[in-house]
Amino acid sequence: MAASAPARVNWARVVPCGLLAGIVWTVLSSVVTALAGRAFAAALPDGRLTRPSASLVTFLLVVNLAEGIWAIWLYAAIRPRYGAGPRTALVAGLAWWALSTFIDLTWGSFGLVPVSALAGPVLASLPAIVLATLAGAWRYSE
């Protein structure tokens, strides 16, 4: 039995859909930080999140947009195996959240903030990241 050719990722759709996911995540992460990240923000020195510099805002925006593109690339890459739709977007969103959580936990592992201060933002970011991935995947097509 001959193997079929793998489906190609539609980069012309991945990038704008990923940017949409990144923008949604940027908005939702601001809400998550405001509602569930008070202890985390308070633990950072010099009010870095309560009074962020323009360079920090720019950096976080670029990272969020890159993460959104990565998540939609992952959605596009696993779509042939899992099928198009919200279930596959959920899988990609969970992967994004897991990776993001590992990165966030480095704050605690280095002793920069108490691990307890990370619990709220990490848990609250799960639905936010999944919603951002769903938004980008909703617009993606082959």
Residue 61 has what pLDDT? 97
Using DSSP's 3-state secondary structure scheme, residue 115 falls into helix
Whole-number Cα distances in Å, 11 to 18, 74, 117, 135: 10, 12, 38, 17
The model's pTM: 0.91
Q: 16-62, pLDDT tens digit by residue?
A: 999 999 999 999 999 999 999 999 888 887 777 778 889 989 999 99
**Distance, CA of 54 to CA of 48 (rounded, Å):** 11
More confident residue, 6 or 136: 136
Q: At CA 29, angle to CA 77 and CA 127, rounded to 5?
A: 60
> Residue 80: which of 31, 142, 138 has the closest Cα?
142
Rounded to an integer, the average pLDDT of 107-115 is 88
| Statement: residue 5 has pLDDT above 70 | no
The DSSP secondary structure of 22-41, one letter per residue, reads HHHHHHHHHHHHHHH-HHHH
Q: What backbone torsions phi and psi does residue 8 show, to the nearest 5 degrees?
A: -90, 145
Residue whose structure tokens are 């195996």: 81
